[in-house]
Amino acid sequence: MPQLDTSSWFITILSMILTLYIIMQLKISKHVYYKNPEPINTKKMEHPTPWQTKWTKIYSPLLLPQQ
């Protein structure tokens, strides 16, 4: 059974790492980084509701007079 020839592994691994590094650098350089978003002042909308202007009493069923 022949032995495995590992003499070219160093060049193969080194070229693979270099290629991956170059590809990652190209992908990162093409990435668009957006500016930091600034907060927008939003105005609170006031909708008048009937229960804000008048007082209402909520009756609990347990507090009603027993008949």
pLDDT in tens, 10-38: 999 999 999 999 999 999 998 887 788 78
Provide the pLDDT confidence category of residue 64 given band limits of 50, 70 and 90. low
Residue 1 lies in a domain: no
pLDDT at 23: 96
> What is the mean pLDDT of the segment spanning 42-67?
64
pTM reported for the whole predicted model = 0.45
Residue 56 one-letter amino acid: T
- The H or E element that residue 65 is part of is none
Residue 25 lies in a domain: yes
Residue 50 lies in a domain: yes
Residue 46 lies in a domain: yes
- The H or E element that residue 52 is part of is helix 50-53
Distance from the Cα of residue 48 to its chain's centroid: 36
Count of the separate structural domains present in the chain: 1
Residue 24 lies in a domain: yes
Residue 61 DSSP label: G
Residue numbers of the domain that contains 22? 6-63
3-state secondary structure at position 18 = helix
Residue 53 lies in a domain: yes
Residue 51 lies in a domain: yes
3-state secondary structure at position 54 = coil
pLDDT at 35: 81
